[in-house]
Structure 1
Amino acid sequence: MAGGIGMGGAAPSLIRASLGRTGRWATGVAFVGGFISDILTPLAPFAAYIALVAAIAAVIIAIAIVLRLVLAAKALPALVFASTAAAVAGGVFAVQKQTNSQNGLVAGLVPAVAELQRSMGIVSAKVAKIEQTVTETQKTVETVKQSTDKVLQKTDEIASTQQQQTEQGAQTQKTVEAVKQTTDTLADTVAAGQQQQQAQAQKLQATTEQIAVSIDTIAKGFAALAAQGGVIAEPKRPDEFYHNARVYELSGDMLNARRSYLAFAGFDVDAIDPYTRFATLLRVQDGKAGAREVFGALADKGKALSIKLVHALQFEDAQRLQKLNAFVAANADFAPAYFLLSQEFSEDRLGFQALSDKRSEATALTKFLSYEKDGGLLKYFVDQTQLADWLDRSRSRLAALGDVLDAKRFAPTLTPMRSNQGWSMTISIPEPATGISWRMGDSGPFTETGFLALNDQTTGKPMPNPSFELPDSTAAGSIAIKYLEVSGRETGPFDIRFDPETALQQGNKQILDQFWTSWIAFDASGNRGLVYFSQMLSYRCAIKAVHYGLNGAALDKEIKMPPCDPKDPYAIPSEYQPYFKVADSVKSMSVQVTYTDGTQSPVREYKRQ
């Protein structure tokens, strides 16, 4: 309490002491500053600036004293000075504002000061001019700066573009290098792939040989077990399981036979006969659907082509054939597939074979037998007796099919026959047909020949008409023939060349050869001494020359024939006599015809009655 009183009492004395020491000169300085600022008023309101700065300083010093941030003894003189300066300057500025004096109070009272301000006004004008110049210069500088900025911006853009081009060039270079590297890598990959493929091919060849050896070992083991007979108590090898399956099957124990076949299939042996036998057992027990399901599962798990092939056999008709063809296309050297494919076209399977079926069967059997050389079929069979059966059946069927693969022999033929009204074309089909159609030329619709008024005993269906007519004005060209097999499958078209002149000659020749006994007629119709050759004369378009001899003499005489008339080939010219006279001593006549195709008939002998 005493301390507080002491401070309260000491403060006024301290302030009086500070005012006594500092106040006098501070007041003087403040008045001098106020005078100077009043004189400089035309240039700027310096009195206001001084009052504001001094007031802020006084407030700061007072706060510092109150907060005891500084010692009061040291800060009071500054506070007195700042307060005095603020009061004087503020007073001067207040009076200037109140009097609305633009040049200050002193200038209004003292002319000399006004003159001094005018001098300062010159300076002020100059300063204004300088400021204007500085302002214009600043604008120019700003304009230059803007231009410079634009130039810098453009330069930056150019630099950026160049940098982008550089980066793009670098990227392009990297891309080129990457492409080159990729190309090199690809080349290396291709080379490595080729080497790998070659290694795989060699490995596959070695594996194939190993499998063949393995099947050979299994086959020998199976043959030994078959000779031994009986069930193997604890089978372990594939030949033992196959042997047991056969034994169980023969004894009627189908359940154990089935288990043994499945155990054999687990070895994934690529032999055909065990799976065909297993499939037969499954079809008997479960039908084709069951067999298809079992072999489908085996084919998914195993790699043996034999399993996949037998699986294809478990489908129905057209689907089975489609899958067999697909298998053969994918595995062209799997020999057993060709025998099984041939069965799809056999008489046993179809009941009635069309010509195309016979050809398909013969083609497949021929391909199968081609693998017999050098024991090429042994590697597909565990039971060699099964292979022997397939070979015997193949040879027997090929012998029965004969030369069915000779396309020329089994192609349709066309026999033209010329009459006075035109051409009669007779078609010969190499197999029973249910429909025949023809077309003149290489384009246009086909025309059906129709049907005869009777049924074909082979097909049980109406017999198609084997002939059609053409006008006598028909020019040389191609005639296309096609027909329907018994199964309804279309065969053809077959293009046959038709030449009217050649056809006429060949038709006449055929008749002359067939009816040669009618060439010569002695004393016909009671005309004693006359030899008639009317039949040769009617078919003279096939004849180049006719030579004869009487009573066994040389053929040194010739019958002159009138030229052939293609428009009316069988007519005998009215002025031509179809006979000649002979003496009663003529008892026989020998005749030989030379045809237009250069061939000659045998020497025919005709005796007089």
Structure 2
Amino acid sequence: MSGSVEIGGAGPSLLRASLSRTGKWAGGLGVVGGFVADILSPLAPFAAYIALAAAVTAVILAVAIAFRLVLAATALPALVFASTTAALAGGLFALQQASDAEDGVLAGLVPAIAGLQQSMGIVAASVERIEKTVTETAKTVDTVKQATQEVQQTAEKVEQKTEEIAANQAKQQEQAAKLQATTEQIAVSIDTIADGFKALAAQGGVIADPKRPDEFYHNARVHELSGDMLNARRSYLAFAGFSVDAVDPYIRFATLLRIQDGKAGAREVLGALADKNKTLALKLVHAMQFEDAQRIERLNAFIAANPEYPPAYFVVSEEFSEDRLGVQTLADKRNEATALAKFAAYEKDGGLVSHFIDHTLLADWLERSRSRLAALGDVLDPARFMPRLTPMRSNQEWMMTISLPEPATAISWRLGVEGAFTETGFLALNDQVTRKPMPNPSFVVPDRTSADVIAIKYLDLRGRETGPFEIRFDPQAALAEGNKQILDQFWTSWIAFDSGSNTGYVYFTHMLSYRCAIKEVRYSFNGAALDKIIDLPPCDEKDPYAIPYDYKPYFKIGKDIASMSVQVTYSDGTQSPVREFQR
């Protein structure tokens, strides 16, 4: 109790002592601090900051003294300093707010202080510019860093893409290897099925509980032979469920279906199977069930999609065969030969057996292919089947006779490489092959026609256009060739002894008329060497068969002449045999 009174009585004296010792320098520091805070006010409200800090400090010291956390003698000077500073700084901040002086109270009263603040503002602006530069630099660094990261990410993506491409290539190679292995496996399996079928065929009889495709195929054949078409059909359908890519079972099955259901029914059944069973053999046999032009169109489409499937070529060859068409055109023969040649080419590499279970059908196809190719001969040689044109000169025109490699239903020609074609017309009789009016095989051109190209085209017996074929026409060469043919064909007319009542003369009028083919004529009498020459007048291409009015086509001979030997050298350099004429 006494202690408490003692402290309370000593409080005021201790406070006065602290104010006496501390108040003077505390006030001085407060004034200086306020001065500095006022000058720096453009940068920030330092007076408010100082006042707030000092007030907080004073409150803390007062609480500490009140609760005797510190000795009053020790803390009172600091309390006095903090209180004084808070009062002065707070008053200065209040004065700045009241006067609305953003640059401080002293700057408005003392111009020198305003100049100092301006200088400080320059420094501050410079600091701001530096800060701005630093900020922009930092942004640039960030941008560069981001770009670097993007480049790195792009590089990683490229590397990833490269790895993906490599992986895809490896995958494609793996798939190709698997496909090759699968193809080989299928071939092996068909060989195995074929061997099994062959063994079962030798064994005979129906397999009671079939499980393998060769057993179902065997049963189907046995049921067919016995006339049990219902069970044969069931066995074929069961075989189709194994998706074996061999043509002969489906061909036989199609035959059975056409007998039972007709062509439309066979198409329907095989079409439904082809949708489920993706084997090429079944798709080929399904295409075979259509009619005429539609069938050929489907077969050609199949070959276009599967050019390395050999059985398709034999099937297509039959569409153009004599058995199918009755009468073949040249185009039919060429189509048949082309398809058969492609089919036969696979036999050399053993590429046919893997498409057949019953090899008897393959053997039949191969035999028919060889037989037909031999019969067709060199039909694929285009030079052997070109139309031929035989010009024959008269006194006024050229008669052109056309020889075609096959019967035609119409013929057209054109002089030159451009322009319209002209039909030759028809004769007043029917062609025995086509049973239609026979086209006129001849046409004429004027005798003044110069060397040019004559184009020939025709329609075959199916109405398909063939050609045009361009044939070179040289009037001079044609005249010589035509005269030569006549001279060779009618050589017995070269010489005439004692014609009519002109005894003692030998005439050579025939050779004179066709002299445009002759280069030289040598002769002799009674078997002697050919030592004499008949001097013929030159060829007149404008009027080749006329005999000059002042030229004598004969000469006189004696009675001792019993025979005359003649040899003609033609304008093309060839020579006739030595012909002997008896008087």
Q: TM-score, normalised by structure 2?
A: 0.74
Query: Which deviates the most, 165-174 or 253-262?
Result: 165-174
Q: How many residues were matched structurally?
A: 479
Q: 1:354 touches 1:431 (CA, 8 Å); kept in 2?
A: yes
Residues 341-380 of structure 1: pairs in structure 2 closer than 5 A: 341-373=316-348, 376-380=351-355
- Per the alignment, residue 292 of structure 2 pairs with 317
Is the radius of gyration larger for structure 1 or structure 2?
1
Q: 1:215 to 1:597 in 2, by over 3 A?
A: farther
Paired with 2:129 and 2:495, the residues of 1 have a C-alpha distance of 125
Q: 1:151 to 1:587 in 2, by over 3 A?
A: farther
Query: 1:367-401 deviations in whole A, cap 9, x for unaligned?
Result: 33333447653333333332333233333333433
Q: 1:132 to 1:456 in 2, by over 3 A?
A: farther
Please state if 1:266 is matched with 2:241.
Answer: yes
Give the Å deviation of 1:262.
Answer: 0.8
Paired with 2:411 and 2:179, the residues of 1 have a C-alpha distance of 52
Paired with 1:260 and 1:192, the residues of 2 have a C-alpha distance of 40
Paired with 2:463 and 2:316, the residues of 1 have a C-alpha distance of 21
Q: 1:577 to 1:201 in 2, by over 3 A?
A: farther
- Per the alignment, residue 146 of structure 2 pairs with 167
Residues 73-112 of structure 1: pairs in structure 2 closer than 5 A: none
Residues 241-260 of structure 1: pairs in structure 2 closer than 5 A: 241-260=216-235
Query: 1:425-463 deviations in whole A, cap 9, x for unaligned?
Result: 211111111111222333333222222233222222222
Q: 1:590 to 1:298 in 2, by over 3 A?
A: same
Give the Å deviation of 1:488.
Answer: 1.2
- Per the alignment, residue 214 of structure 1 pairs with 192
Query: Which deviates the most, 487-496 or 159-168?
Result: 159-168
Paired with 1:144 and 1:503, the residues of 2 have a C-alpha distance of 116
- Per the alignment, residue 54 of structure 1 pairs with none
- Per the alignment, residue 454 of structure 1 pairs with 429
Please state if 1:420 is matched with 2:395.
Answer: yes
Q: Of the candidates 202, 205, 223, which is equivalent to residue 201 of structure 2?
A: 223
Give the Å deviation of 1:235.
Answer: 2.4
Query: Which deviates the most, 566-575 or 158-167?
Result: 158-167
Q: Of the candidates 186, 205, 228, which is equivalent to residue 165 of structure 2?
A: 186
Q: 1:514 to 1:149 in 2, by over 3 A?
A: farther
Please state if 1:429 is matched with 2:404.
Answer: yes
Q: 1:547 touches 1:558 (CA, 8 Å); kept in 2?
A: yes
Paired with 1:328 and 1:552, the residues of 2 have a C-alpha distance of 71
Give the Å deviation of 1:133.
Answer: 9.3
Please state if 1:200 is matched with 2:172.
Answer: no
Q: 2:191 touches 2:357 (CA, 8 Å); kept in 1?
A: no
Query: 1:462-500 deviations in whole A, cap 9, x for unaligned?
Result: 222212222233332322211111111111121222222
Give the Å deviation of 1:290.
Answer: 2.1
SS of residue in 1 equivalent to 2:384: coil
Q: 1:215 touches 1:380 (CA, 8 Å); kept in 2?
A: no
SS of residue in 1 equivalent to 2:414: strand
Q: Aligned-pair RMSD on alpha carbons?
A: 3.1
Q: 1:496 to 1:368 in 2, by over 3 A?
A: same
The share of aligned pairs that are identical, in percent, is 65
Q: 2:497 touches 2:506 (CA, 8 Å); kept in 1?
A: yes
- Per the alignment, residue 522 of structure 1 pairs with 497
Query: Which deviates the most, 187-196 or 256-265?
Result: 187-196
Q: 1:399 to 1:283 in 2, by over 3 A?
A: same
Paired amino acid for 2:409: T
Q: Of the candidates 462, 469, 474, which is equivalent to residue 444 of structure 2?
A: 469
Q: 1:162 to 1:568 in 2, by over 3 A?
A: farther
Paired amino acid for 1:190: Q
Paired amino acid for 2:169: V
Residues 14-93 of structure 1: pairs in structure 2 closer than 5 A: none
Q: 1:171 to 1:556 in 2, by over 3 A?
A: same
Residues 451-600 of structure 1: pairs in structure 2 closer than 5 A: 451-600=426-575
Please state if 1:130 is matched with 2:105.
Answer: no
